[in-house]
Amino acid sequence: MKKKVVLITGTNSGFGYLTAKSSALKGYTVYATMRDISGRNAAKAAELAAVENINVVELDVTDGDNVTKTVAEIIAKEGQIDVLVNNAGYFGGGIAEAYTTDDVEKMFDVNVKGTWRMLKACLPQMRKQGEGLVVNISSGLGRFSAPFMTVYNSTKFAVEGLTEGIHYEVRPFGVDVVLIQPGAFPTEIFGKSTYGSDAAVYNEYGDLAKVPEQIGAGMGQMFEAMKPNPQMVPDAILHLIELPKGQRPLRTVVDGMTGEFVERANANVKVDYANFLTAFGMKDLLG
């Protein structure tokens, strides 16, 4: 039996890096993608490339031609793509009004359009195979929008909507498209945070402009006290990979601190959503 081929975006750090290593240890053929593998990410690229079963590939999810070409090359070499993990993305905090249109477009280009480009490139092969799995990394903040993380949250809301609709559209082809909703974990994503570039707005918000810094300090204290393990996310992804097709849940919450809040919301919506699809003649898509 041929090894599963797993394609992961954003493997230079965080969940992507851990998922690449964990998938390789399971014996899967891993394509660990990232930008700038000869420059700023050279050390991480070399580290992953030294791991058995991992192929490190240059890929920029904001470049449609690069995405199409890279995916086509992997398919030509392997003859299949079994799993796509859409992990590439970045976090942004601060006052929402301080984000310019360009700031918002940049974040959506990576977090949302990047996910879409990868889906668009991989789904035809998965449909042809009659099976496949796409795991889109969302967030608990894709279900509830906390203040001072508003623009980031909105990208995750978009990923949730994109995934939920496609989940039902491609199930008849044997393809599962699902979500991981992580909580907060101590990964590099917070060290790479961006903020709105309209600095004048912060002056107009007075003391409220200090709240994002206070949130960051509080999160650091929470990490120190509860020590959430980022490995929980790749473990959840591997569990989804190993489940039979058609039996993978649409949403998987991975959050040992505040996840019950999101779990309850997911459960409540799931019931009414099933009623909605049934009422509009789409009960068969529920599986």
Report pLDDT digits (tens) over 153-163: 999 999 999 99
**Are residues 218 and 257 in contact, defined by beta-carbon separation less than 8 angstroms?**
no
Q: Which one has a higher pLDDT value, 229 or 238?
A: 238
Tell me: the pLDDT tens digits for 237-287?
A: 999 999 999 999 999 999 877 778 899 999 999 999 999 999 999 999 998
Query: Is pLDDT of 22 > 80?
Result: yes
Which one-letter DSSP state was computed for residue 4? Answer: P
Active-site residue list: 152
CA angle 166, 238, 227 (to 5 degrees): 110
pLDDT (mean) for 173-188: 89
Tell me: the pLDDT tens digits for 92-131?
A: 999 999 999 999 999 999 999 999 999 999 999 999 999 9
Give me the phi and psi of 102, to 5 degrees please: -65, -40
pLDDT (mean) for 177-201: 84
Give residue 213's pLDDT band: very low, low, confident or very high (50, 70, 90): confident
Among 127-131, 189-193, 229-233, the range scoring the smallest mean pLDDT is 189-193
> H or E element: which one contains 272?
helix 259-279
Q: Please give the domain boundaries of the chain with CATH numbers for all domains.
A: 5-286 (3.40.50.720)
**Are residues 232 and 254 in contact, defined by beta-carbon separation less than 8 angstroms?**
yes
Q: What is the pLDDT of residue 226?
A: 72
Judged by DSSP in three states, 271 sits in helix
- pTM, to two decimals: 0.94
**Spatial separation of the C-alpha atoms in residues 53 and 5, rounded to whole Å:** 10
Q: What is the pLDDT of residue 190?
A: 61
Q: What is the mean pLDDT of the chain?
A: 93
**Are residues 164 and 250 in contact, defined by beta-carbon separation less than 8 angstroms?**
yes
Q: How many helices (H) and strands (E) does the chain have?
A: 10, 9
pLDDT (mean) for 171-192: 85
Q: Look-up: residue for tokens 């992580």?
A: 182
pLDDT (mean) for 31-57: 97
- Percent of the chain past pLDDT 70, that is, above it, reads 96
Query: Is pLDDT of 180 > 80?
Result: yes
Q: What is the pLDDT of residue 212?
A: 81
Q: Two tokens at 190?
A: 């917070």
Q: What is the pLDDT of residue 130?
A: 98
Query: Is pLDDT of 223 > 70?
Result: no
**Spatial separation of the C-alpha atoms in residues 43 and 225, rounded to whole Å:** 31
Q: What is the pLDDT of residue 189?
A: 63
Q: Look-up: residue for tokens 């959503």?
A: 273
Q: What is the pLDDT of residue 214?
A: 81
Beta bridge partners of 252: 180
Q: Which one has a higher pLDDT value, 144 or 240?
A: 240
